[in-house]
Amino acid sequence: MADGAFFANQKKISPTPQCEAVYGVQAGDTCSGITQMFKLATKLFSDLNPNLVCDKLFVGQWVCTDGEFSS
């Protein structure tokens, strides 16, 4: 077996977000607006909310606005 071949087939494990603060979506909110409101980078907001579909936000939906990542 060539060096490194063993690792070539291994999946990269993504860190798991641990949410530490949430925000309840209000009428008229957008993902862009929420990231601006909480001064978050778009990638961080997306990483904290991996299953969020920004085109389908609804009033009362909880989104994570702060957190850490653990593996």
Domain boundaries, the chain: 16-70
Share of the chain above pLDDT 90, in %: 69
Share of the chain above pLDDT 70, in %: 80
Say yes or no to pLDDT of 60 above 70.
yes
Which of 10-14, 37-41, 48-52 has the least mean pLDDT?
Answer: 10-14
Contacts 24+ apart (CB under 8 A), 41-46: none
- pTM summary value: 0.76
Say yes or no to pLDDT of 13 above 80.
no
* Residues ≥6 apart with Cβ < 8 Å to 47: 17, 69
Best CATH choice for the domain 16-70 from the list 3.10.350.10, 3.40.50.300, 3.50.50.60, 3.40.50.620: 3.10.350.10
DSSP-derived letter for residue 29 is -
What is the C-alpha to C-alpha distance for residues 45 and 48, in angstroms, rounded to an integer?
A: 5
